[in-house]
Structure 1
Amino acid sequence: MIGVVAPVPTMVPPPGQAVVTGTIHGVGLGPGACDLMSVRADRLVRGARHVAYFRKAGRPGQARRIVEGMLRDDVIEYPMEYPVTTEIALSDPRYNDRLSGFYATCIDHLAALALGGEDVVVLCEGDPFFYGSFMHLYTRLQGVAPVAVVPGITGMSGAWTASGAPITWGDDVLTVVMGTLPEADLVRRIRDTDALVVMKIGRHLAKLRRAVAAAGREEAAWLVEYAAMAEQRVTRLCEADAVTPYFAILLIHGQGRRP
């Protein structure tokens, strides 16, 4: 259900003059290398006077890091710092309350710029519509300000490319799951699919390892860290460190029909 958006000040033009409204662009940056951005994304990023991006408090933010050296000298940046990430459990009512208020504040700022005639580029890691924070802005912006989306290469695509093997063949079924799921759900989904992508692993690595083993697919599981970035690393899950970075994805490649 879409939350209530606070009213945004509107521009009242002189009689006979139309309101010039800007557009809020959710721009997919791809998996991490700036040369994997689309031509459209590159053009919008380089030309933007107003650039917004999500980040954890005290961190520069991965989206901002990807575009380092690409922004205009006179760019005006708007870092959107999450009020909470892993400090509160997802099941805690305070989690949604804090994030809902955070997104409402972001909407107020972005919409005021757009209704004042300014275009805004919101930097999005991967693809804006694939498990990204931008989708929470997009739904709230409907009917408030013009919004457009530029798709990007997903992080999982960067991961299976880094692994050096196709993720699916023929009639393989690909399942994408979150490492945050309960262990029993992970076991069932890992066991019942041909090819697998697990995202949002983080502190759930031990649970994921148990689930992969219980599903009997330990030997087929690979962990890709920092796909398409300078720190990229591909290892077997059984050989991976006890702690994984935020940008880590588990893969099990399908072995389906082929000529």
Structure 2
Amino acid sequence: MSGTLFGVGLGPGDPELVTVKAARIIGAADVVAYHSARHGRSIARRIAEPYLRPGQIEEHLVYPVTTGTTEHPGGYAGAMEDFYREAAERIAAHLDAGHDVALLAEGDPLFYSSYMHMHTRLTARFNAVIVPGVTSVSAASAAIATPLVTGDEVLSVLPGTLPVRELARRIADADAAVVMKLGRTYPQVREALSMAGRLDGALYVERASTDAQ
């Protein structure tokens, strides 16, 4: 009998914001899998560490690239496609052996998460259970003690990787907007906020809920 794939949301970074259910599943899983960049330090594993137990198998899934620069013949997209395929095969081997796998996801597994790349590749063959987590959006709102939306307002969640003019248009049209995936796009996001006339009212939060907030 095949094992079950658990997509486990860890919340925004504070281990105390891991749900009771997520903690239970992490501790019970035969295999715990998590992603990291090439430096090897996994934020997901750090969050989950209090809930791991001795004897668990750990699958460390290391991204080959984190930006668009790569010598892969298929470019960045090709490198990532190969990575996700190989990672899915590693997880599938455990599931085929009857082992339950907890695949850790920062925030929520189905909200801008790398978990989804595994979900789409594995759920045709294996049973999957999603354990939702607190998103960074909620944690950021809590950090500044400011409501995201009230009444009939509409919240727009936008990736900072959108072209500047498109991002500015969407921000200008929004009742309230959250811009994610800043990182290297921070200057472009500031430009978009300025173009939309929303820069002065913008609030910036990084690493919400962690000691480095």
TM-score using structure 1 length: 0.78
Question: Residue type of the partner of 2:114?
Answer: S
**2:163 pairs with 1:185:** no
**2:124 pairs with 1:143:** yes
Q: 1:210 & 1:147 partners in 2: Cα distance? A: 41
The Cα offsets for residues 36-55 of structure 1, whole Å up to 9 and x where unpaired, read as 12211010112223110011
Unmatched runs of 5 consecutive residues or more in structure 2: none
The Cα offsets for residues 179-223 of structure 1, whole Å up to 9 and x where unpaired, read as 111110111011110101000111111111111111111221010
Give the Å deviation of 1:164.
Answer: 0.7
The Cα offsets for residues 135-179 of structure 1, whole Å up to 9 and x where unpaired, read as 011011122222221111111111111111101011111111111
Once superposed, which parts of structure 1, at least 4 consecutive aligned residues long, lie more than 6 Å away?
none
SS at match of 1:51: strand
Correspondence for 2:44: 63
Amino-acid identity (%)? 44
Q: 1:142 & 1:123 partners in 2: Cα distance? A: 16
Structure with a larger share of its residues in helix: 2
Give the Å deviation of 1:88.
Answer: 2.7
**2:23 pairs with 1:23:** no
Question: Residue type of the partner of 2:168?
Answer: V
SS at match of 2:95: helix
Give the Å deviation of 1:93.
Answer: 5.2
SS at match of 1:191: helix
8 Å CA contact retained: 1:124, 1:132: yes
Correspondence for 2:67: 86
SS at match of 1:45: helix
Give the Å deviation of 1:23.
Answer: 0.6
**2:30 pairs with 1:49:** yes
Number of residue pairs aligned between Structure 1 and Structure 2: 211
RMSD: 1.5
SS at match of 1:69: helix
Correspondence for 2:99: 118
**2:199 pairs with 1:218:** yes
8 Å CA contact retained: 2:15, 2:50: no
TM-score using structure 2 length: 0.94
Which of 66, 86, 89 aligns to 1:105? It is 86
Residue pairs, 1:154-173, within 5 angstroms = 154-173=135-154
